[in-house]
């Protein structure tokens, strides 16, 4: 096997060569480019042919994956080995969406039967709330559900609900994440406590923002229904059921998940309970099946035809081959508008690291900044920079081929825009073309000299396109799993741990200290700016 140093050397050389050619010229130079750089997987179609890699650079990227022992790392992930070494944990989110009868093991211990039991409990609860068999304290059925969580306990379920809510639901599902009281107040506005169910999601059941909102929601229920009745209007999802019951919840209202489930990979577990209730169990089960199909593809497809591997390598090329520090994800589907936010946590929390799994400084840049807006909105905001800015920002377009919502002509216009943007970024418009156009309009030479550079588009800006035939639960599950595995592949190649997040801890611990001071506690040492601001906020 090629060692990583040699693989990186070959990669760097191939990147230098690729930097000398334009993307659009490669279609003539590589007649099979589209076929070689596009793939179908679990109902999704990926076109990576507009990325700025040559066939040689793509091959060098594949060598990186092999040299990093991606095959072995993938086997360890699915085999339940300790892949989160800093916390001594297996990472087994694929076990959560595997069909019944699977045999996943975490550090050698069987987990699949527990997963199946957890799913059965979720299904029974979701069906009970949907049918009205599970009622509130006054005997009325639940018509509203308030999901309280933050980070991975919020973003995944929120994305799923926003994407799939047009499927229809008798439940009004709302989300609360921010400790800012305005967030909870907005979610509760207009709701009838007698018909409202609150689901609190926290892995540890100690997350400060979540518990503050949970207590406030319980007070809201108690004020209307009485303290004894509030518990029958609440459920919890946690890896520490004991804390949930100490909070006052009955055992049958507590849904467990496990320490081998990372927060940002947890939507497949009981963390997705609110979605299962609001969308109905068949939709949630189909969502799991779509992810399981992508798992199967990731496990079985050769690297050169493996969607998560190729999508990750396109990012490696941009980040490490061309030094691009940001990437934008643009879903041309309003229902996927939260996908960029979800990917910010998935990718930047997973791979935003500066040391490797042994604690040594990385020798290569890791995760890039991820941002995005739905198309066509983004075209009227930051696309100016994408087309003519001084930095090249790779673009990931997401398109849905068929949409039954709204007029057909509107969706056709949407698709025309996504295809046009990808083409325009690649081919651009030369100054010669612009000058000829201005001459034809009769402008004088001075005006042409001034305007032509401003209307020139350099092009040669890379993009990928991911196509969903329809935005179904299965397609959404496959899409999220695609990005999960992409993130894992990148982490393996960079040699880092994609499954811890120590970077979020320092600010949280300092916030606890400062909170005590703001509430009247003794002053503690800080820098002059922080000391001054604490004094200002205490006034």
Which among 16, 140, 402, 508 is annotated as catalytic?
A: 508
Using the 8-state DSSP alphabet, how is residue 344 labeled? I
Which among 380, 413, 469, 505 is annotated as catalytic?
A: 380
Look-up: residue for tokens 């041309």?
A: 332
User: Is position 380 annotated as part of the catalytic site?
Assistant: yes
What residues have CB less than 8 Å from 349, skipping those under 6 apart? 264, 501, 503, 504
- Write out the DSSP string of 162-190: HHHGGG--SSEEEEE--SSHHHHHHHHTT
Which of 321, 444, 359 shows the shortest CA–CA distance to 52?
321
Residue 298 · residue 78 · CB < 8 Å: no
Q: Are strands 82-84 and 44-47 parallel, antiparallel or unpaired?
A: unpaired
Tokens of 198: 């609150």
| CA–centroid distance for 486 within its chain | 11
Task: Report the distance separating Cα 121 and Cα 103, nearest Å.
Answer: 19
What residues have CB less than 8 Å from 20, skipping those under 6 apart? none
Number of CB atoms found within 10 A of residue 174's CB: 22
Element (H, E) at 237: strand 234-238
User: Is position 441 annotated as part of the catalytic site?
Assistant: no
What Cα–Cα distance (Å) separates residue 165 from each residue in 82, 283, 364?
A: 37, 10, 41
Tokens of 62: 């594949």
Residue 26 · residue 52 · CB < 8 Å: no
Rounded (10°) CA dihedral 243, 248, 253, 258:
0
Phi and psi at 429, nearest 5°, equal -145, 120
What residues have CB less than 8 Å from 522, skipping those under 6 apart? 516
Q: Are strands 172-176 and 44-47 parallel, antiparallel or unpaired?
A: unpaired
Which among 349, 373, 484, 490 is annotated as catalytic?
A: 349
Task: Report the distance separating Cα 432 and Cα 429, nearest Å.
Answer: 8
Element (H, E) at 399: strand 395-400
Residue 45 · residue 38 · CB < 8 Å: yes
Task: Report the distance separating Cα 154 and Cα 342, nearest Å.
Answer: 9
Q: Are strands 196-201 and 144-148 parallel, antiparallel or unpaired?
A: parallel
User: Is position 469 annotated as part of the catalytic site?
Assistant: no
- Write out the DSSP string of 62-121: HHHHHHTTHHHHHHHHHTT-EEEGGGTEE--HHHHHSPTT---EETTEE-HHHHHHHHHH
Look-up: residue for tokens 């919890």?
A: 236
Task: Report the distance separating Cα 122 and Cα 136, nearest Å.
Answer: 18
Question: Which residues are annotated as catalytic?
Answer: 349, 380, 508
């Amino acid at each position: 096997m090629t060692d990583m140093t040699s693989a990186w050397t070959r990669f760097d050389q191939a990147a230098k060569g690729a930097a000398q050619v334009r993307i659009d010229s490669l279609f003539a130079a590589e007649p099979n480019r589209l076929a070689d750089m596009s793939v179908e997987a679990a109902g999704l179609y990926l076109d990576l042919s507009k990325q700025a890699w040559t066939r040689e650079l793509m091959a060098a990227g594949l060598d990186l994956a092999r040299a990093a022992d991606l095959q072995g790392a993938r086997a360890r992930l699915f085999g339940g080995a300790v892949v989160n070494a800093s916390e001594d944990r297996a990472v087994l989110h694929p076990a959560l969406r595997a069909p019944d009868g699977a045999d996943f093991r975490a550090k050698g211990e069987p987990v699949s039967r527990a997963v199946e039991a957890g799913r059965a409990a979720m299904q029974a609860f979701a069906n009970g709330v949907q049918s009205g068999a599970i009622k509130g304290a006054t005997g009325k059925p639940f018509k509203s559900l308030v999901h309280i969580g933050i980070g991975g306990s919020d973003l995944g379920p929120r994305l799923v609900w926003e994407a799939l809510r047009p499927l229809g639901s008798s439940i009004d599902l709302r989300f609360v994440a921010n400790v800012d009281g305005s967030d909870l107040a907005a979610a509760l506005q207009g709701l009838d406590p007698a018909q409202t169910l609150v689901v609190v999601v926290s892995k540890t059941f100690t997350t400060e923002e979540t518990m503050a909102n949970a207590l406030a929601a319980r007070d809201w229920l108690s004020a209307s229904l009485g303290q004894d009745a509030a518990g029958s209007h609440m459920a919890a999802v946690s890896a520490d059921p004991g804390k949930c019951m100490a909070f006052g919840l009955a055992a049958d209202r507590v849904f467990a998940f496990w320490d081998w489930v990372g927060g940002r990979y947890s939507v497949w577990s009981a963390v997705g309970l609110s979605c299962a209730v609001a969308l109905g169990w068949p939709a949630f089960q189909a969502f799991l099946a779509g992810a399981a199909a992508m798992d199967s593809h990731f496990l079985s497809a050769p690297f050169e035809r493996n969607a998560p591997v190729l999508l990750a390598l396109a990012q490696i090329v941009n980040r490490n081959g061309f030094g691009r520090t940001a990437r934008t994800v643009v879903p041309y589907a309003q229902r996927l508008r939260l996908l960029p936010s979800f990917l910010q946590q998935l990718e930047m929390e997973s791979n935003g690291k500066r040391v490797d799994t042994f604690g040594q400084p990385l020798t290569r840049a890791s995760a890039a900044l991820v941002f995005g807006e739905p198309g066509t909105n983004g075209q009227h905001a930051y696309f100016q920079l994408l087309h003519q800015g001084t930095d090249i920002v790779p673009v990931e377009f997401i398109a849905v081929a068929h949409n039954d919502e709204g007029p057909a002509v509107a969706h056709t216009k949407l698709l025309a825009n996504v295809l046009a943007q990808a083409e325009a970024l690649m081919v651009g418009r030369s100054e010669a073309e612009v000058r000829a156009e201005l001459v034809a309009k009769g402008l004088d030479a001075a005006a042409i000299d001034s305007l032509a550079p401003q209307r020139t588009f350099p092009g040669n800006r890379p993009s990928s396109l991911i196509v969903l035939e329809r935005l179904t639960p299965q397609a959404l599950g496959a899409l999220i799993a695609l990005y999960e595995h992409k993130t894992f592949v990148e982490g393996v190649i960079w040699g880092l741990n994609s499954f811890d997040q120590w970077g979020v801890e320092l600010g949280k611990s300092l916030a606890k200290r400062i909170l005590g001071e703001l509430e009247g506690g003794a002053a503690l040492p800080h820098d002059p700016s922080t000391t001054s601001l604490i004094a200002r906020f205490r006034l």
